[in-house]
Structure formats: C-alpha cells, structure tokens
Chain A
Amino acid sequence: RKEVEQDPGPFNVPEGATVAFNCTYSNSASQSFFWYRQDCRKEPKLLMSVYSSGNEDGRFTAQLNRASQYISLLIRDSKLSDSATYLCVALLSGGSYIPTFGRGTSLIVHP
C-alpha cells in the first residue's frame, strides 16, 4: 500500500462546478500536510497548507481528518485556469524531513 494515495482521475468538470479531491495517508505519525498544484511540464507550486481546523483560501478549502487519515481539497466555482494536477503531501513529525507526495489528481475544467 502506498503511503499517500490519490485518485489519479482525470476529473472532468464544467466551469462553475464544485469538485472535491481526497488523499489518504497510511502513516499516523504524519504531522504536516499540503496541497500543491502542478501544471503540465512545470514545477509544483504550493496551493495551501492543511490544518486540523481546516482552512479556506478564496474558492479553495482544505480539511484534515486525522481519525480517518485523509485530507481533502474542495474547489468551488471551478475556472478553466484550475485545470492542473493537484498533489497532496504528508510530512512525518520528528527530526528527519521526509515528505511523501501522492501521485496527483488530474483536473480538467471545460467550458
């Protein structure tokens, strides 16, 4: 079983739709979580950190569920420019820095 799992998609949605991605992690010692966005043939860019209390940034909302060991990303009012691959990342607590990325979920927003 992979340490961080994501549905690769693609999720194909019309403009204006609401779409949600989940990401599960297997190591309960994971402490920090992030969502990154990666456009085709580009580097990943931070979208948002994920906190236990949940956090929101405009149309984007991230949630962490420690009991079920998953994080989620909700995108409201999808734009064409949201089309990208969304990567979730989990980092273990402690002295070593070992981030684990999921394989990413592809989102395609069409007119």
Chain B
Amino acid sequence: DAGVTQSPTHLIKTRGQHVTLRCSPISGHKSVSWYQQVLGQGPQFIFQYYEKEERGRGNFPDRFSARQFPNYSSELNVNALLLGDSALYLCASIIAGHTTDTQYFGPGTRLTVL
C-alpha cells in the first residue's frame, strides 16, 4: 500500500514568489494536516482538512492557504515568500481527523527561499 506522498521533494524559490505543495493521503484516509518544521524545532501545525472542509488552523499568516480535493489530496499554497518560510513542510494523513486518530506523515517537501 502506498503511504503518504508529497511533491516536490525539494524546492528553491526567491523572496516574493509563491509556491504550491502537494500531498496525497493514504488510501481510505479522509483528512490531511499540514505542518511547517524549521531546523531544531518541532512541527508547527498550519491546517487540517477533513472532507474538503477546514477543521483546524494554526497561527500562520493569511499568506498560507490550503484546500482539499474530492479525492482527498491536498495543496498548500504560500504567497509572497519570505526567507523565514524556508523549512520542511510535512503533510499528515489521518483516517477521520479525530483527536485520537494516528497521524501518518509524508516525507515532506524541503523549501528553501533565497
């Protein structure tokens, strides 16, 4: 069975540009969460989506947005990139999005903003 897939694996952008990151959850999972992890820190929660609806939002500016598609895949968009957006972006697949559900993380997209 395929696990969580994310694309691209690495990305280099310049300040001011925008970026779209993609995630496909485990088959049968209906919920996806997005995280930002900077070096030396734990993952910081950005969004959770369940059945195409936003279920949770972390403390991130409006430059960050996301959506979930009917096939449960998801995109994270970041506009007007800043140097501080350089991080590993992780997607987690959750079967139903309940607080007791296990999250399965994808390998992440490493974004570098120059």
B-binding residues in A (CB < 8 A):
4, 6, 8, 31-32, 34, 42-46, 49, 87, 91-93, 95-104
Contacts and interface: CB of A to CB of B under 8 A. Distances in A.
Contact of A103 (B41, B100, B102): B41
Given A42-B107, A43-B90, A101 B99 contact: no
A99 B45 contact: yes
10 contacts: A43-B108, A87-B42, A93-B99, A97-B33, A97-B48, A97-B50, A97-B99, A98-B48, A101-B35, A101-B44
Interface in B1-47: 33, 35, 40-45
A38 B108 CA distance: 12
Interface of B: 33, 35, 40-45, 48, 50, 55-58, 90, 97, 99-100, 102-108
Contact of A100 (B41, B45, B55, B90): B45
B90 A44 contact: yes
Contact of B99 (A6, A8, A32): A32
A97 B43 contact: no
Given A97-B56, A99-B33, A44 B43 contact: yes
A45 B105 contact: yes
A96 B42 contact: no
B58 to A, nearest CB: 7
